[in-house]
Structure 1
Amino acid sequence: MNKWTKTATTLLALGMITSTVPADTFAGTQQAPTQQTQAQHEHDYTKQLGEQNVMSVAWYQNSAEAKALYAQGYNSAKEALSKKIKHHKGGKKLAIVLDIDETVLDNSPYQAASTLKGQSFPTGWHEWVKSAQAKPVYGAKDFLTYADKHDVEIFYVSDRSHEKDLDATIKNLKKEKLPQADKKHVLLKKEGDKSKEERRDKVRTDYNLVMLFGDNLLDFDEPKSATPKSRDELVRQHEDEFGSKYIIFPNPMYGSWEATLYNNDYSIDAKQKLEKRKQSLKYFDMKTNKVKTYQGE
């Protein structure tokens, strides 16, 4: 130890030298996480949520099976609608109601962006809608053209925002040459709307509503409660109508089914969402040779 070191040590011991280094420089690991750290953790968990959706989006965009399911749905719809047209004896004009997203238009590029960037809805959604770049899903254009040529009224009932998305939605539908794309037939969600049922009832007032199309159970009817059990009961209640009156399409990327995993509370943080997703799974335990519900690590 040289004399300068001895002097400095002595002065420090006597309290005559004051350090200009923040006190928490040396105690940081002992302190509670800062808001910045918590925000970083939330960002990381949110990114994980998005990354879990990669395979869903990849399947939707790339699998021939997805296209086949749309073909199956719209082929069944055409057959069912042709019978309804044939047996229509006058009175109210026939009408059909279709959801838009993942029923008529393919928004998977938006879902892919959210997945790759670790973002969640509604970040970037209205910008995507405004771009009017969504393409028709497989089979939709041919079926809608058929319905239009047979004088069937077509209503697009979507929970896109009426205030923010109406003009861009109509622009997109027209751009893809989809029929009856106007303000009369495009019924988006207005402030105060509780569900799509009010808009469907509006159609029923003036038309004979014979078919409903969607990728979400709520595109057809409202379950008694937003629980998996009640949703399953609704399917059993209408099981004979799927394929004839109700045409449902595949969507593994999002939907009201996901909300049930979180007890319909999207306000929980990303870490809790990750855990609740796992807790919804039944898995095979190789140690006990039994199927179990995931309870956590």
Structure 2
Amino acid sequence: MMKFAPVALAAALALAGCAQAQRPAASTPTAVSAPAAAVEAPATAGVAADDNLNAVAWSQRASEHDFIYVQTFRNAQEKILKAKQDPNWDALPRDDRAVHPSLKGLKPAVILDIDETVLDNSPYQARLIRSGGEFNEAAWADWCREAAARALPGAVEFTRFAADHGVAVFYVSNRAKDLDEATLANLRSAGFPVAGKASFLGLGTFVEGCEQAGSEKSCRRQLVAKNYRVLMQFGDQIGDFTSIPGNNDEGRTRAMAPYTAWIGERWFVLPNPTYGSWEPALFDNDYDLPRAERRQKKIEALRIK
């Protein structure tokens, strides 16, 4: 969650109920993939106070970043066939599976977020740094329509391995539904297996009998669950995996507590220091605050002991 395309404050609150989004809609709570880090007037001579520079530079230039992705997808590939053979193996959170509880006869699938999970949108973040701007839906949509995002290391190899072994690949993203053609084109050009339009479940996907809260992905996970046993989920936001009762420290911890044993087995979490629901959780999900006030609240949230 980019993952972003959040739906700003609404998404943040829903989140608070990954997302999703570079401030593209990240998954819900991820989904709150809210706007990219703010850039303010220099705090000291010639130095931007809060421009996301180190986070984006690390994402683009650090070998360690790429190795984490390779490591994650390689680990998943080593385990997926065993998961496929176990008829009781399922990676959906309890609430999502409860809607379609029987696993009998279901085909195997994996669910992956798109932004900062399989596609690298750091060039969009770099543009924000150079311009001094913040995330906005129009510029984000323009970037998505360029269909120029590169595949993240290891992602193509894993998804192709899954597809070659009879595992359906779903991309559940908080990119707006009107970006589906551009997104599918980008995925295909980057080498990802795409079975058809139904492979992409963007923000706004209609799921009969399920009311989506903000940008959370629960309804779309339930849609996949109707016909598939989900072997694994991948994302860079908590909302890519499960719903968050409240986008604060307590709510985020509570959301993940029942599933910590699944990390690295059924749920595979990728790093995203540039945006996500973790950021607005530091300033009460209030994007109406001036940038300087949001930054100050983030500073106050830092641990010094």
Q: 1:48, CA displacement in angstroms?
A: 4.2
Per-residue CA deviation, residues 53-107 of structure 1 (Å, 9 max, x unaligned), is 1000011111111111111110121122121123359711001110000001000
Query: In structure 1, what is the equivalent of residue 158 of structure 2?
Result: 143
5+ residue gaps, structure 1: 1-41, 284-290, 292-297
Q: Which moved more, 1:102-111 or 1:266-275?
A: 266-275
Query: In structure 2, what is the equivalent of residue 73 of structure 1?
Result: 72
Query: In structure 1, what is the equivalent of residue 13 of structure 2?
Result: none
Q: 1:134, CA displacement in angstroms?
A: 0.3
In the superposition, the TM-score normalised over structure 1's length comes to 0.76
The reply on whether 1:204 has 2:225 as its aligned counterpart is yes
Distance 1:69 1:272 in 2: 33
Query: In structure 2, what is the equivalent of residue 108 of structure 1?
Result: 122
* Structure 1 contact 67–138 (Cα < 8 Å) conserved: yes
In the superposition, the TM-score normalised over structure 2's length comes to 0.74
Query: In structure 2, what is the equivalent of residue 244 of structure 1?
Result: 265
5+ residue gaps, structure 2: 1-38, 89-103, 206-210
Query: In structure 1, what is the equivalent of residue 61 of structure 2?
Result: 62
Residues 170-189 of structure 1 mapped to structure 2, 5 A cutoff:
170-180=184-194, 182-189=196-203
Distance 1:44 1:142 in 2: 43
The reply on whether 1:168 has 2:182 as its aligned counterpart is yes
Q: 1:237, CA displacement in angstroms?
A: 2.4
* Structure 1 contact 50–115 (Cα < 8 Å) conserved: no
> 1:145 corresponds to which letter in structure 2?
R
Distance 2:200 2:168 in 1: 12
Query: SS of 1:94's equivalent?
Result: strand
Distance 1:262 1:87 in 2: 43
Distance 2:190 2:257 in 1: 36
The reply on whether 1:44 has 2:65 as its aligned counterpart is no
Query: In structure 2, what is the equivalent of residue 125 of structure 1?
Result: 140
Q: 1:181, CA displacement in angstroms?
A: 5.3
Q: 1:93 aligns with which of 101, 107, 116?
A: 107
The reply on whether 1:225 has 2:246 as its aligned counterpart is yes
CA RMSD in angstroms comes to 2.1
Distance 2:125 2:302 in 1: 23
From the CA coordinates, give the structure whose radius of gyration is larger. Answer: 1
* Structure 1 contact 97–155 (Cα < 8 Å) conserved: yes
Task: Go from structure 1 to structure 2 and tell me whether the alpha carbon gap of 1:190 and 1:48 turns closer, same or farther (over 3 Å shift).
Answer: farther
Q: 1:214, CA displacement in angstroms?
A: 0.1
Q: 1:177, CA displacement in angstroms?
A: 2.1
* Structure 2 contact 235–270 (Cα < 8 Å) conserved: yes
The reply on whether 1:157 has 2:172 as its aligned counterpart is yes
Q: Which moved more, 1:234-243 or 1:198-207?
A: 234-243
> 1:60 corresponds to which letter in structure 2?
S
* Structure 1 contact 157–187 (Cα < 8 Å) conserved: yes
Distance 1:126 1:50 in 2: 24
Q: Which has the higher helix share?
A: 1
Q: Which moved more, 1:241-250 or 1:231-240?
A: 231-240
Q: 1:142, CA displacement in angstroms?
A: 0.3
* Structure 1 contact 45–270 (Cα < 8 Å) conserved: no
| Larger RCO of the pair (alpha carbons < 8 Å, separation 6+) | 2
Query: In structure 2, what is the equivalent of residue 256 of structure 1?
Result: 277
